[in-house]
Chain A
Amino acid sequence: MTTVEEAPAVGFGSHPRVEDARFIRGRGNYVDDVQLPGMLHSAVLRSPYAHARIVSIDTSAAEAHPKVKGVITGAILDTLKLAWMPTLSYDTQAVLATDKVRFQGQEVAFVIAEDRYSARDALELIEVEYEPLPVVADAKKALDPGAPVIRDDKEGKTDNHIFDWEAGDAAKTDAAFANAEVVVSEDVLYPRSHPAPLETCGVVADMDKVTGKLTLWSNNQAPHAHRTVYALVAGLPEQKIRVISPDIGGGFGNKVPIYPGYVCAIVGSIVTGKPVKWMEDRSENLISTGFARDYHMHGEIAATRDGKILATRVNVLADHGAFNGVAQPTKYPSGFFHIFTGSYDYPASYCQVTAVYTNKAPGGVAYACSFRITEAVYLIERMVDVLARKLNMDPAELRMRNLLRPEQFPYTTPTGWEYDSGDYPRALTEAMRIAGYDQLRAEQAAKRERGEHMGIGLSFFTEGVGAGPRKHMDILGLGMADGAELRVHPTGKAVVRISVQSQGQGHETTYAQIVSHELGLPVVDIEVVHGDTDQTPFGLGTYGSRSTPVSGAATAMVARKVRERAKIVAAAMLEVSVDDLEWEQGRWFVRGDREKGKTIQEIALAAHSSLELPEGIEGHLDATCVYNPPNLTYPFGAYICVVDVDPGTGQVKVRRFIAVDDCGTRINPMIVEGQIHGGLADGVGMALMQVMAFDPDGNHLAASFMDYLLPTSLECPSWELGQTVTPSPHHPIGAKGVGESATVGSPAAVVNAVIDALAPFGVGHIDMPLTPANVWSAIQGRPLRTDMALE
């Protein structure tokens, strides 16, 4: 286990986190901590119906409340052409409903008041008359003839179809299936889930009417992208918008989109001339903001009798809710789902995805999903276990037989991704070594003899993270490349300004370490500035594990530019040619005369002095860089989960979880391990507890933490981590993204372990979450549908 005691003063290693000094003292600055003079508060009135026409809205009683400063409705926004806003997928979303409501919890009116309690009081005074409409709660019924049309706001729309998308070679795949010795198939649901960061979404909007400057404190993961969208949507000049992402209490993709409350708070500040704070409560967060998953998948594998995979084929029904609000690169309507080919070597694959509208909240791409790689990994890893069961083969042996071999990298998958580097068998071998795999199987056999139900589950994942390159990847036309700016002050201290925003990732520490590694400055001498569009260069933000692969690379590259400038200054100081200089950590010295050299601190002072520099060389010591990644980085890992299942109650106990991750170079191993721990807890939660189910009327059945169950310290085992290190060949420091790896890789291991435990009962698959009720019902031979309440 890595501890801060190993921390070096310079460069990579488990350096203690700079940001902890304020957090352990309760001195973080989250958006709800922002207090401005004269600030007003607000609250959103939401629809109780999943689908209903709005007949009338009467706000007069609310407006008469003595502490209310204004009530905004869709009709008012309509006069400003702001009743609808674009989503990040070129669809539209209602800011406040004008014609009808399309999901339970949809925003209907916005009250601004002197304090947060009065704003809530006033919601009770608004009278809305609804005319309920038939509801599409079940994605499987969305395309039925005669299904109610949810998006009748779209001209000519006569059904609930959003898009069809495909990848791979259908004919080649069909041929492989036609000739296969063995074919397995399974319906696999990745149910609707929610990231549920402990800090809900919120904003403080402050429009200064004198300067015309709008300042937004908003806990979002992409401040620059938000600023540009506000400029485009509201017609405000972009230089007059400042988006500050202060400390953020967890994001996990929930804080990427722009939510109606943000737009309303801006309008509220413009209307009242005062700063307006909007902070949603927990129920609002769960029922209305970006959900995750909701992929109904049908997977098939063709294989030989001795366990060589030949082809995979997948059909997906994707539930996108009432507005297509997925946040992902434009050209990829199903995200990076085509990576469902997994970590295995076979020639043919095909997938087809159909996306539909339902009367549920918009979203889909969130919760550490790496743009749908979560769903892809879960599917292929579940299917490989289905194949292993069919062939009566050990799932570890089946995986080992099919894993890509190190010499095959860079490897192009049947659906077109180029995996950059990997040594997969090494990672799986290491996980099996830590687990004591053979002993575990022996223990399981002995327990089965005694009628005890222990299960061992494996998963092997490959992720593609770090979007762009920008020629392939953009969001609303904004290319996915990120900037960095670095300035070394005369005294040899530095400030680096980055485009990405931390939600707990520890950027203030790790980005200082990157600069430290490149320039030899102590970590404590480097200030990292982030989360403020007026102070940082443009970039697309932190999600999809893209900070280290993109912005981390930009930081390394800008430090190298500074190092090269320092070389010229050092040559002038030493009166030698730049060609005679060599770099060692923190100084340039004359080749062959190590004593003769200048430290980066001496060079920084000289760069700001009257020292004469060569023609064309500007003084000072700074640089800027925009990093456009040549490819994604492809982290991978091997996970093993051990569970005990009580067949009498259906209770699952996760006894052990072994995770071997390979994310290339680890900048700060302590932080990397911490992120993996968190992702593993997500996997246990997703596999065993978390689900957003609905009843046939579209009522949300997980609208609080009493119903939406998150893993606590008691459901989580003590995680057992291992690592292998296969650097990315195209990243300047060899690093790959890791923030989502464990969330992506772990659910399949947990589910596979439970299904393995239930083999004596003939249970071949159960959809997540494997709650006691679901497990018990499966044992009884009556599996439940987990995403819908019983009709």
Chain B
Amino acid sequence: MQITVRVNGEAHTRDVEPRLLLVHFLRDELGLTGTHWGCDTSNCGVCTALVDSKPVKSCTMLAVMADGRDVRTVEGLEQGGALDPIQQGFAKCHGLQCGFCTPGMMITTRALLDENPHPTEQEIRVAISGNLCRCTGYENIVRAVRWASENPAASEHPAEEVSA
């Protein structure tokens, strides 16, 4: 099937098998390997991407279901060379260790802050409860999201300390 998906603002047209999962479309077809794959059952959330601004588990969505829609992945968080406040928050608050859950966590919490710019701790915990992390015990992820909510304009200031 031929599909056209806008990913991080760019349209991609591909001929794909109807059974191709969105996560494999992103990773294998488009080479966007920041979106990870972890469980097959929608439990772990490392494959989370935004589809029309809503976080979805891309391991349980077919690529053809994304035809004509807008997808945003971790690679699309950085805009014009400036990091998203969520990205800065994760680095500043040590919200990641192995980094495997991080893209899904950041995408989920970006969506949270888009809907609710000033969430409570409990609202943050509920929002990320569909994303597992095996390293951080969630403590510093919660802090990272809170930091981002308190610094919404951070993206206007490129963060030297987290540049490569």
Contact = CB atoms under 8 A, between A and B. Distances in A.
Interface of A: 1, 3-5, 16-17, 19-28, 30, 32-33, 35, 116-117, 195-200, 247-250, 252, 281-283, 503-506, 670-671, 673-682, 704-706, 710, 712-714, 716, 718-719
Contacts of B94: 4, 17, 670-671, 673-674
B99 interface: yes
Interface string B65-103: 000000001110110000100011011111011111111
B19 A117 contact: yes
Of the candidates A27, A197, A506, A712, the one having the most CB atoms from chain B within 10 angstroms of its own CB is: A712
B50 interface: no
Given A199-B100, A704-B41, A705-B39, A710 B136 contact: no
B119 interface: no
A250 B100 contact: yes
B64 interface: no
B126 interface: yes
A25 B92 CA distance: 14
Contacts of A704: 39-41, 43
B162 A199 contact: no
20 contacts: A4-B161, A16-B92, A25-B87, A26-B75, A27-B34, A198-B46, A198-B134, A200-B38, A247-B98, A248-B98, A250-B97, A504-B100, A670-B94, A674-B135, A682-B134, A705-B44, A712-B128, A713-B129, A716-B137, A716-B139
Nearest to A32: B37
B4 interface: no
Closest 4 CB pairs of A and B: A26-B34, A504-B98, A249-B100, A23-B99
Given A705-B44, A713-B128, A21 B162 contact: yes
Contacts of A17: 91, 94
B101 to A, nearest CB: 6
A22 B139 contact: no
Contact of B92 (A3, A247, A682): A3
B16 to A, nearest CB: 11
Contact of A677 (B31, B38, B137): B137
B73 to A, nearest CB: 7
A248 B33 CA distance: 14
Contact of A26 (B40, B74, B92, B125): B74
Given A16-B161, A680-B137, A713-B129, A718 B121 contact: yes
A626 to B, nearest CB: 28
A637 to B, nearest CB: 15
B136 A678 contact: yes
B125 A713 contact: yes
B39 A26 contact: no
A283 B43 CA distance: 13
Contacts of A32: 27, 33, 36-37
Contacts of A504: 96-100, 135
Contacts of A24: 83, 87-88, 90-91, 96, 102, 106, 162
A32 B23 CA distance: 12
B36 A199 contact: yes
Contacts of B133: 198, 678, 681
B14 to A, nearest CB: 14
A674 B136 contact: yes
A639 to B, nearest CB: 13
B135 A30 contact: no
B39 A20 contact: no
Contact of A678 (B100, B137, B163): B137
A677 B136 contact: yes
B141 interface: yes
Contacts of B96: 20, 23-24, 504
Contacts, number: 193
B34 A250 contact: no
Of the candidates A197, A678, A706, the one having the most CB atoms from chain B within 10 angstroms of its own CB is: A678
Contact of A21 (B27, B73, B164): B164
Contacts of B115: none
A417 B27 CA distance: 50
Interface string B121-145: 1001110111011111111111100
Contacts of A719: 137, 139
Contact of A198 (B34, B77, B100): B100
B41 A197 contact: no
B39 A282 contact: yes
A248 B138 CA distance: 19
B32 interface: yes
A717 to B, nearest CB: 9
Contact of B97 (A116, A506, A712): A506
Given A26-B34, A712-B132, A249 B139 contact: no
A252 to B, nearest CB: 7
B134 A252 contact: yes
Nearest to A670: B94
B155 interface: no
A497 B141 CA distance: 31
A677 B98 CA distance: 14
B35 interface: yes
Contact of B98 (A5, A16, A33, A503): A503
A684 B139 CA distance: 14
B18 to A, nearest CB: 11
Given A199-B100, A718-B121, 17 more contacts: A16-B92, A20-B96, A24-B83, A24-B162, A26-B75, A30-B36, A195-B134, A197-B134, A198-B39, A249-B36, A249-B46, A252-B134, A503-B98, A678-B133, A705-B39, A712-B138, A713-B128
A20 B162 contact: yes
A25 B78 contact: yes
B150 interface: no
B100 to A, nearest CB: 3
Contact of A712 (B103, B129, B140, B142): B129
A695 B162 CA distance: 50
B156 interface: no
Interface string B146-159: 00000000000000
A332 to B, nearest CB: 27
Nearest to A676: B137
A199 B38 contact: yes
Contacts of A195: 134
Nearest to B139: A677
Given A3-B92, A24-B87, A198-B132, A33 B33 contact: yes
Contacts of A677: 136-140
Contacts of A674: 94, 97, 135-136, 140
Interface string B1-32: 00000000000000001011000100100011
Given A679-B137, A719-B139, A706 B43 contact: yes
Contacts of A22: 99, 164
Of the candidates B35, B39, B73, B102, the one having the most CB atoms from chain A within 10 angstroms of its own CB is: B39
B40 A19 contact: no
B129 to A, nearest CB: 5
B73 A678 contact: no
Given A24-B87, A705-B43, A713 B138 contact: yes
Contacts of A282: 38-41, 44
Contacts of B44: 198, 282, 705
Given A25-B34, A674-B136, A713 B142 contact: yes
A689 to B, nearest CB: 12
Given A16-B92, A33-B33, A704-B39, A247 B136 contact: no
A704 B43 CA distance: 9
